[in-house]
């Protein structure tokens, strides 16, 4: 009985270590991805000066 309990504990520990290593592998993969964030200002598409800075919606008689 003691040996089977020990083997079961080893199996559970191995599965937990495997799951944690998969998580670490995923973190490393995502940390090495290139940055796909857009530039804050796109120089080819500058908005005209009359373009509104902010917008509002007024609802009447709804």
CA separation for the pair 27, 39 (Å, rounded): 25
pLDDT at 53: 84
Which residue range is the domain that position 27 belongs to?
A: 1-34
End-to-end CA distance of the chain: 75
CA separation for the pair 45, 41 (Å, rounded): 8
Give the predicted TM-score (pTM) of the model. 0.48
**How does pLDDT run along the chain (62 residues), one tens digit per residue?**
688 899 999 999 999 999 999 999 999 999 998 878 777 777 777 788 898 888 888 999 98
17 assigned to some structural domain = yes
22 assigned to some structural domain = yes
How many domains does one find in the chain? 1
52 assigned to some structural domain = no
């Amino acid at each position: 009985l003691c040996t089977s309990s020990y083997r079961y504990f080893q199996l559970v520990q191995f599965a937990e270590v495997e799951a944690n290593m998969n998580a670490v592998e995923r973190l490393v993969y995502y940390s090495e991805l290139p940055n796909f964030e857009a530039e804050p200002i796109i120089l080819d598409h500058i908005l005209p000066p009359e373009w509104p800075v902010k917008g509002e919606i007024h609802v009447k008689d709804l």
